[in-house]
Amino acid sequence: MPKVPRARALPFTTETVWNSGLVGTGVSGDGRSLTVGHEGEWSPEHLLLLAAESCFMSTLLSLARAEGIEVLGYVSSGQLHVPDDPHAALTVLLTPCIVVLADGDTERIRALARQAREESVVARTLGPGLTVALDVRAVPADPS
């Protein structure tokens, strides 16, 4: 399968400035910002899950587009398991559901999901701590 670039070639940079309490403002290199921290709008743990979900999604949808697979829908949920033991590994579970137009595309999407798992920057960062439980559904062709 062809390798398709999914991330900008620019370096990814951020800066976080403490506001007060347990809140800061995170700013990306191109100026976008959000409030982060355990008392902010987004906790670091939620950002980790969103990074895993959105990076996997973007990678898989880019691969599907390159292969000419029509994707009708995509939804995902993520769970972060933080063990009580601070030396135990964290685990992330992603459960994406993707809807395709043709029955024949379900196996192709499953193969692309394995490739996306290997190529997604965040998935690569999480390594064996990441599990992806993919659900693929095909919409039946309209008989009319």
Tens of pLDDT, residue by residue over 7-64, are 555 678 999 999 999 999 999 999 999 999 999 999 999 999 999 999 999 999 999 9
CA distance linking residue 144 with residue 140, whole number of Å: 12
pLDDT of residue 9: 52
Residue 15, CA distances (Å) to 8, 9, 26, 38 in order: 18, 19, 6, 17
Task: Just give the CATH number of 43-138.
Answer: 3.30.300.20
CA distance linking residue 93 with residue 78, whole number of Å: 6
pTM of the model as a whole: 0.86
CA distance linking residue 123 with residue 103, whole number of Å: 27
Domain residue limits, the chain: 43-138
Which pair of structure tokens corresponds to residue 72?
């009708």
Q: Please choose, from the candidates 76, 74, 77, 131, the residue with its C-alpha nearest in 3D space to the C-alpha of residue 98.
A: 74
